[in-house]
Amino acid sequence: MPRKAAKAAQAANTSVASLFGFEPYVEKKGEEYMNENQRAHFTELLRAWKQQLMEEVDRTVSHMKDEAANFPDPADRATQEEEFSLELRTRDRERKLIKKIDSTIERIKTDEYGFCDQCGVEIGIRRLEARPTANLCVDCKTLDEIKEKQITGG
């Protein structure tokens, strides 16, 4: 059980910023929320994330070109097709994420970033560090998830 708790604590401390070598933004006492420094930090973070995703797309295309072969054995062909299918599904999810990153960068430019789309409160620096594309505060996101569970019965 202590291992699970340690892993959960580590996951909670992991942010997108730390994944790309960015230091998490440290708020200064009395600092205005979503000031120029904070917006610049998140813009850099989002651009680095997008760049990494774009590099993955390039690697996938080159990998699929290099690995594409017409195997005579049907099992080998099926295995390769399944691998390619999994890669393409992953890249499709990442394509959608790139669009979300782009729209988030636009939100930063229009000074809408960092505020909940539903209730207008501050989302918070820590939440944005963990999920830079977040557009709902924790409370509104929780309510959305509860509603979704009620609708889907999950």
* CATH code, 85: 1.20.120.910
Is pLDDT larger for residue 84 or for residue 140? Answer: 140
Range of the domain at 59: 2-152
pTM (2 d.p.)? 0.77
Q: What is the mean pLDDT of the chain?
A: 86
**The pLDDT of residue 61:** 80
Report residue 148 as tokens: 């979704």
Is residue 117 very low, low, confident or very high in pLDDT (cuts 50, 70, 90)? very high
Cα dist. 82→21, 53, 74, 77 in Å?
33, 22, 12, 9
Is residue 59 very low, low, confident or very high in pLDDT (cuts 50, 70, 90)? confident
Q: Which residues lie closer than 8 Å to 2 by C-beta, 6 or more apart? A: none
| Number of domains making up the chain | 1
Q: For residues 116 and 140, what is the distance between their CA atoms, to the nearest angstrom?
A: 8
pLDDT tens-digit profile of 118-128? 999 999 999 99
Q: Which residues lie closer than 8 Å to 39 by C-beta, 6 or more apart? A: 108, 113
